Structure 1
Amino acid sequence: MERKTVVETQHAILIDLLKRKRSKPLYQQEVPPYQITVHHLGTYLVLTVDLPNAHTLVTDLLPVPLHDGQDVSVRSLDQGVICVAKTALGQFEVLLELTSGDIPLVHYRTTFTPARILSLSPQPLDLLLLKGSGALPRAGTVHLEQVQTRSGACFVDFGAGTKGSLYYFQNLSALHAYAEDIQSSLADCVKVRWPQLGLQLPTVSGKGLSKGKPYVLRDTYLLYFTDTPKRPAAIALQILQAQCRVYRQLQTPVVSLYAIDEFVQHSLRDLAQHKGCWQQVKADAFLNAYLNDYQNPPESMVQLSVLLPVLRYHLAYPNATSAAIVDTLLSAVSCFYDEKIQSIARWMPEKTFQLDESEEQKQPRIMDAWYLHHPLLNLAYVLLAGKGDDLLKQQFINSVTFCKKVAKHFDYVWPVFYDLDTLDILKAEAAPGDGGEKDVGGLYAFLMLRAHELTGDPSYLDEAKRAARSLSQFGHEVLYQANNTAYAAEALLELWTVTGDTDFLKQSELCLANLLWNTAIWDMQYGHAKEYSSFLMLFPLKDAPYAAVYEEQECMASFSRYLHMAHRKKAPLSAEIQTLLPELVKHILGRLACYYPPMLPDDVLAQEVKTGYLDKNRWIPVEDLGDGWDPVGTVGQEVYGAGALFQAFVNQALPLGNNESYCFVGYPIVEKRAVDGGVRFRTAGSSTLSYPIRLLGRPKKRYQLTAGKDVLWLDADNPVQQLPGGTTITLRWKS
């Protein structure tokens, strides 16, 4: 999107001072491609970064002006400098670092210790882009900026005729003390208003900072690329390169794993026994979408979203309770079959009279595009697991035939809502100019691949290819809903393994890039968020205000399958995806338990919910983890997200010789096999980053871990270890 060139008053004054500067710089250093200079210009302490494209980045390093004549002390470091200014308002300390490498990095952090209780005045965006002459540059293209509580990042180029692109990252984790004390959110605080971009520190009148307490007010990283990406894949790669480069500089939170084996049992019990999870329709029982949600008819997506992970758990660890849930849900799937369209539909046809039309999709013959495909995808996996009878398999085939009819009608570009009978478009775009449900083509392709696996019919493979190729028209913005974008990435990778067509692989990585941008690379740690893990939250939609358990757990499972397939087929994935995707899985795993009310203090839970009832003692997850100032669970307890712990347990827990002890692995497992007296497994990821493992159950033995030349031990007294990613681990025990 193009931006107009407008400059704020404070920056106009700064431009004038730079043009008239007379004093010797306080500090100067060249780390190609940067020329770094710190100037003390009257009341300003200014950093300028000269770029090889004849542009300059300018920032006032202090959020309040110095007094005229105020001294600034400078202390050199190996790769930078520390500047200290003592003022009547308090002391400022500015750390400036320059790191060389494939992508040289500029980092500056401003810390303020107030000498009195005070509040800051409103500030402009902290970074100004100028031509080398001091003139305002032509507006460039903005490819990325912060949305709500996602990462505080921007990515821009410098406009037509000027080479180069710039990535700006504000480490919002460092600002949590400031946000806590002024009781303000850090949502939407990093923006672009050309030629200004970056952090606009929130201020709240009457909310003061404490005397003598140090506050980080900026923790900024800048990366400059000498070329300007044009094609979607190149744009995506540069953002990922920058994201990964910064990620490795951050002090990320340590992930603590939990007793998932116990939590699974709690969840299984409540899912089976709590009456608020279920509603009865004649002879069949159906899951509610939310706890105590009796206002809406049963939904096929809800039943199958829980059926599949519970079935996988039951096949691995059979028991009477999981068997009863599987049998109940499986027997009810056919009730969603709509004879009129010859397909499994979203709402149970017999109960659509309950729909009150209070929302766009709550009408009997209205289809939200992704809802047609998602239940069928899970049903395909159920059938592939050997469950379901001939009738259900035929209903699946008929449903996929209807899906093909819809896909061809829309030429593989789906709207948001359409009429099931006429296929008339009722809502074409999510928002003006945003397009429809762009990633449904990838979800549809994944469904076609599963239909091909189930039947062997080559027409399904052809359909998958056609739908997958339709995604390229959306450029570098494919995301509509996170889990569907993840399935699109899986489908594209699988098509690459079948065809060898590298365009499929590039588009697959582009889908993953969309998901990695749609995360929060910061640890909120203010308000209610001090009670749950917020680092690397993955948001369900590109404009959603919170992370949601359903989409996070489905993406986690999809990423694990993706990395397993990529490892097995030796896919040449970018180093950035190989590094960041396992980290995302690690942090989702660490967060899953935070969605369950028994794991949260009562005072962070919502007193009123949108749908149903919040029972704080039940192991049914809340839907939402949002901004730290928002209560948790305002949407309701999400029954259709109740598969989360089962999914994680099946994927990440390794039985240690019996079903009494397990090893909970905090990274995606890409290989595992039994060895003499133990198990050997390999995870995805980089060996320069680590993940936790935890011993679970009732361990009576001591377990030896071998990672390369390192030997570690797990036992009841030392149940947790940190291991390097991307390595083979051998875990042995004595019989």
Structure 2
Amino acid sequence: MSEALLTTYELATGEQKLVFEFDPLLQGYGYAVYVRNKQEQWQRISDAGNPLVRGLSFDLYPETIAEGEQGELLVAGTRTYVSTGGNAGVYSWHGTIRADKRNGWIRFRLEVHAPEDIGLRMIDGVEPEITIRMGQMPPYDRGDHVWFKTNINNPTKWNDEAYGNDFPAMYYFDAYHQFETMMFFDMTAMNWMNRDNVARFLNYRCGFRRSYKPSPSYELGLYADGFSGKTFPKGKQTFEYYLKARSRVAPPTEQTAMAELVRHCLELVPARAVWPAKATDWQDFAERCADELMDDEQCWGSNEDYDDFILNYVNGYSPAWQEAFAAKQLPIDFKHSPCIDSAAFIGFPLSIVNAVKTDERYGDLLRRLLKFIRAYVERKEDAPVKPGGEVVGTWQYIYILEQLWLVAQLNKDERIDRYVMNEVHNFLIPFSRNVDYLFPLSFNTETMAKHGNGDNYPVGGLYALFMFNLYKKTGSRAYFDEALRGLRPLYQMPINSLSQEVFLLAMGVQAASLIYQETGDEHYRNVYDYLLAQNLRMMYWFDDNTKDEYKDYNIFAMFQACTPIIYPAFFENVEVLARIAVTLDVHAPHVGLLRIFNHARKNNFYLFPECLPDNKHRSNLLHIPFENLGLLEDEKTGWIGQEIYGAGQVFAAYLMWEAFGKSSDRDVMVLNVNDDKRVDPDAVSGMRLAFIVYNPEQESKSFELRIADQVTVRTASCGRAPDSVTTTLETEGNVIRLTLSPDENLYVTVNG
């Protein structure tokens, strides 16, 4: 054996290192993971001899390793395979393993070059997998170890078995050997996944897995519980993933571990974000959306009860809902059904836009919506109580009330306000107490009890925010106490109990921030951090390039609408970010979170027919968004319909990124973080504004920040964090001139 084959290679970050050793039986190098323990000694935490990718057709053990110019390891090798046609062959592979000493991650990027499609053999498990064998299970595994480990597996799941397709990362803390491990899997790069092999999160799981052959042991990483087919595609295919392992003595709770995992993964959010070809700006889309929402034929209807009402979907048509109702042998007629959801959800952000922008299209649409809302409220107040009550969706019922209350405040409408408050006291608070703030998916309005299956615990975030706002409006401590009762359970529940409708978590984030500001209690800062992590857990941390069709758009920084619906939806995408944005004047964001906002600012344009290819998913209303985009796990773009009820988020996006302050250079993001979006229409000119201005580009930017014309700018100042806004800025009318370095952000406050 040559001396070169006996060489040991190491790659370290300071807290962890990989050690590759040559194994003559494998004719390649396997690796082990080490961490620097509290005695400042290297402690091996995994088995030796791990491959870079596992599976009978892979088992990528480097045959050669070389050190690169930047200290990275350059690995390469060959593997035999059997093609789908039964031919034996050999493919080559190579890759780079790089340690980022700044953030502590080790990045693995490997390329496989197969001349033919590989026939996956799926022997002794599913292939390919990216797992690290960690060694023997601790003694009394099911009694002691399982009690004291801290483990976060992904993706999210709901109702015990239905998985989502969101967060490609895992966390594990070993209480015996006192270390923690995190892994992140780049699903953008690994676009070989499809329904001919393993269709990503239909079967892949990120996390901890036990094995009992030949003896009890465990492994960490990306593993599969099933597969769709047995063909791995030919050509260049990529495996990319990240590892971070560290010594840790004090055991984390699942809540703190979740917050830490997301915080570390934020370090991996790419800076570069690209505008869709047909995207203009949110002002343009808001104006066009307002025009299109006035379309009598496609957005409005009438019946014997209402002479004018708004629909939920364009033309009252949703192929998905048609199929679902037909399968249950139930009738469905969205075309002739008034949709208070649409009126309420649009009415709130539209009322704000109408207050700060002089444009009759907003006023005309708002007056039409208010007319319908008032007619709806009148009918609800006069309607007799149904014997036996009625079954309503919990989040829909509460969210409609919360949105109607905001519409009433903004438009000084006592009738709507009175209706909402009657519902709050006669139904909402009694029901919430009756279920001990553990909210179900649906309930009966007479029994005030859960109906049927399913829980929806994150409704507690919505409830807490609603009650807190009632407290601030009325001064009644009883509402504040209700807000606390709604929020507190969310921090105590098992971490896998909170994944349902994603924006409900965002409302919990906002409620936790407000309660923290009100009380100064650090516990609520921890609740904020945890719920923010749970919210970001449901984000798409990748772009889907697994089919040519999906390359027409970018889903990065969109959100899984609701575990396990497994598609991104416009309403939820924007509502989540709008709720988080207004907390950032108190909670300084990680730069990775600002990058997420910037990706979302651009990528959400892809949900409009205007920004999709001309020959696909067309509509003559180009600026009302589709509810969904197709991706590997759920392939039907636009299948749910064009969501009128979600069109209000076009105005919310405009408010968040442009309406109050807009950059002359559209690549510079101006994020409105004003903590009071319930604008008094009579006090717009004197309002105080707060922004985060962020340059995500790789070059310095000099630009003008233009403040909304309706605001009279008296002073402006800036700083590096929310609590350090100290530097006075020169203003000329409503224009502020700024320069930002690459990846730099500033807090800017404007006093009207």
TM-score (ref. length: structure 2) = 0.74
* DSSP 3-state at the match of 2:561: coil
Residues 656, 503 of structure 1: alpha-carbon distance in 2 compared, 3 angstrom cutoff: closer
* Residue in structure 2 matching 1:622, options 619, 626, 639: 626
User: Does the CA contact (< 8 Å) of 1:689 and 1:725 recur in 2?
Assistant: no
SS at match of 2:637: coil
Question: Structure 1 residue 426: deviation in Å?
Answer: 1.2
User: Quick one: distance in 2 between partners of 1:303 and 1:655?
Assistant: 24
Which whole-Å CA distance do the structure 2 matches of 1:526 and 1:616 have between them?
29
Alignment partner, residue 382 of structure 1? 407
**Who is 1:542 aligned against?**
563
Q: Is the CA contact 2:53–2:128 (under 8 Å) kept in the aligned structure 1?
A: no
Aligned to 2:18: 36
Q: How big is the shift at 1:203? A: 7.9
Given that residues 412 and 467 in structure 1 are in contact (C-alpha distance below 8 angstroms), is that contact kept between their aligned partners in structure 2? yes
CA distance in 1, matches of 2:283, 2:261: 38
Per-residue Cα deviation, 1:61-104 (whole angstroms, up to 9, x for no partner):
25667999995252444333112225662321131222335x63
Corresponding residue to 1:167 among 182, 185, 202? 182
Is 2:52 the counterpart of 1:61? yes
Give the SS at the match of 1:216: strand
TM-fit CA distance, 1:366: 0.6
> Which segment is superposed worse, 278-287 or 521-530?
278-287
Task: Report what 2:551 is aligned to.
Answer: 530
Aligned ranges 1:110-121 → 2 under 5 Å: 110-116=110-116, 118-119=118-119, 121=121
Are residues 1:459 and 2:463 paired? no
Query: Which residue of 272, 276, 290 corresponds with 2:298?
Result: 276
Amino acid in the other structure paired with 2:246: Y
Q: What is the distance in 2 between the residues matched to 1:530 and 1:460?
A: 48
Map 1:472-491; keep pairs closer than 5 Å: 472-477=491-496, 478-491=498-511
Q: Secondary structure at the match of 1:305?
A: helix
Look up the match of 1:96: 97
Q: Deviations over 1:524-572 (max 9, x none)?
A: 22322211121122112232211111111111211221213x1xxxx5x
Q: Which amino acid aligns with 1:540?
A: A
**Structure 1: which amino acid aligns with 2:180?**
S
Change (3 A) 1:61 1:656: closer
For residues 566-595 of structure 1, the C-alpha deviation after alignment (integer angstroms, 9 at most, x for no partner) is 1xxxx5x6xxx5334333322222122111
Aligned mate of 2:77, from 74, 81, 85: 85
3-state SS of 1:292 partner: helix
For residue 82 of structure 1, give the secondary structure of its aligned residue in structure 2: strand
Say if 1:486 and 1:134 are closer, same or farther in 2 by CA, change over 3 A. Answer: closer
Matches within 5 A, 1:362-401: 365-388=390-413, 390-401=414-425
Matches of 1:59 and 1:156, distance apart in 2: 18
1:410 aligns with 2:426: no
Number of matched residues?
639
Could you say which residue in structure 1 is the equivalent of 2:447?
A: 422
Letter aligned with residue 45 of structure 2: H
| Pair 1:683 & 2:681 matched | no
Counterpart residue number, 1:144: 153
Q: Which amino acid aligns with 1:157?
A: F
1:634 aligns with 2:639: yes
SS at match of 2:294: helix
Of 323, 327, 333, which residue of structure 2 is paired with 1:295? 333
Aligned to 1:329: 369
Work out the CA distance in 1 between the residues paired with 2:247 and 2:59: 37
Question: Does the C-alpha gap of structure 1 residues 707 and 181 become closer, same or farther in structure 2, counting only changes over 3 Å?
Answer: farther
Contact 1:152 1:170 in 2 (8 A): yes
How far 1:413 sits from its partner (Å)? Answer: 2.0
Partner Cα separation in structure 2 for residue 68 and residue 643 of structure 1: 50
1:172 is displaced (CA, Å) by: 1.5
Give 2:320's aligned residue: none
Unaligned runs of 5+ residues in structure 1 are: 1-21, 344-348, 354-362, 431-435, 606-613, 673-678, 698-705, 712-719
Q: Where do residues 229-378 of structure 1 align in structure 2 (5 Å cutoff)?
A: 229-247=251-269, 250=270, 252-254=272-274, 258-281=280-303, 282-293=305-316, 295-296=333-334, 297-337=337-377, 365-378=390-403
Aligned with 2:575: secondary structure? helix
Q: Which residue of 2 aligns with 1:11?
A: none
Of the structure 1 ranges 195-204 and 594-603, higher mean CA displacement relative to structure 2 is found in: 195-204
- Which stretch shifts more, 61-70 or 535-544? 61-70
Q: Given that residues 483 and 555 in structure 1 are in contact (C-alpha distance below 8 angstroms), is that contact kept between their aligned partners in structure 2?
A: yes
Contact 1:26/1:39 (8 A) holds in 2: yes
Question: One-letter code of the match for 1:399?
Answer: E
Q: Deviations over 1:487-529 (max 9, x none)?
A: 1111121111111122222112211110111112122223222
SS in 2 for 1:491: helix
Unaligned runs of 5+ in 2: 38-42, 80-88, 157-163, 211-217, 317-331, 676-687, 707-717, 721-726, 731-738
Residue 128 (structure 2) pairs with residue 127 (structure 1) = no
State the alpha-carbon separation in 2 of the partners of residues 230 and 205 from structure 1. Answer: 40
Question: Share of identical aligned residues, percent?
Answer: 16
Aligned residue for 2:219? 196
User: Where does 1:631-710 land on structure 2 (aligned, <5 Å)?
Assistant: 631-653=636-658, 666-670=669-673, 682-683=691-692
- Equivalent position SS for 2:590: helix
Instruction: Indicate how the Cα distance of structure 1 residues 329 and 687 shifts in structure 2: closer, same or farther if over 3 A, else same.
Output: closer
Q: Distance in 1 between matches of 2:117 and 2:666?
A: 50
SS at match of 1:404: helix
1:470 correspondence with 2:489: yes
Deviation for aligned residue 1:683: 0.8
Other-structure match for 1:155: 171
The residue type equivalent to 2:642 in the other structure is Q
> Structure 1's 689 and 149: CA in aligned 2 closer, same or farther, altered over 3 A?
farther
> Is the alpha carbon distance of 1:550 and 1:65 closer, same or farther for their aligned partners in structure 2, counting shifts above 3 Å?
closer
SS in structure 2 of the partner of residue 641 of structure 1: coil
Find the counterpart in structure 1 of residue 329 from structure 2. none
**1:630, CA displacement in angstroms?**
1.1
Q: In the superposition, relative to structure 1, how do residues 175 and 152 fare at CA in structure 2: closer, same or farther (>3 Å)?
A: same
In the alignment, residue 24 of structure 1 is paired with which amino acid? L
Partners of 2:354 and 2:666 lie apart in 1 by 19
Q: Which amino acid aligns with 1:39?
A: E
Higher mean Cα deviation, 188-197 or 311-320?
188-197
Q: 1:26: Cα distance to partner?
A: 4.3
Could you report, residue by residue, the CA deviation over 1:311-359 in whole angstroms, capped at 9, with x for unpaired residues? 222222233332222112112224444888x69xxxxx69999xxxxxx
CA–CA distance in structure 1, aligned partners of residues 640 and 61 of structure 2: 56
Query: Would the alpha carbon gap of residues 690 and 531 (structure 1) be closer, same or farther in structure 2, given more than 3 Å must change?
Result: farther
Deviation at residue 117 of structure 1 after TM alignment: 5.5
User: Closer, same or farther in 2 for the Cα pair 1:693/1:184, shift >3 Å?
Assistant: farther
- Residue 27 (structure 1) aligns with: 9
Any idea what the Cα deviations from partners look like across 1:27-78, whole Å, max 9, x if unmatched?
1355544342223332444222134565215631256679999952524443
Counterpart for residue 685 of structure 2: none
How many angstroms apart in 1 are the aligned matches of 2:429 and 2:60?
73
Alpha-carbon distance between aligned partners in 1 of 2:661 and 2:523, rounded to the nearest angstrom: 42
C-alpha separation in 2, matches of 1:586 and 1:506: 25
The residue that corresponds to 1:439 in the other structure is 458
Q: For the structure 1 residues 69 and 656, does the alpha-carbon distance in structure 2 shift closer, same or farther, using more than 3 Å as the test?
A: closer
Partner of 1:216 in structure 2?
238
Residues 426, 537 of structure 1: alpha-carbon distance in 2 compared, 3 angstrom cutoff:
same
Q: 1:685 to 1:153 in 2, by over 3 A?
A: farther
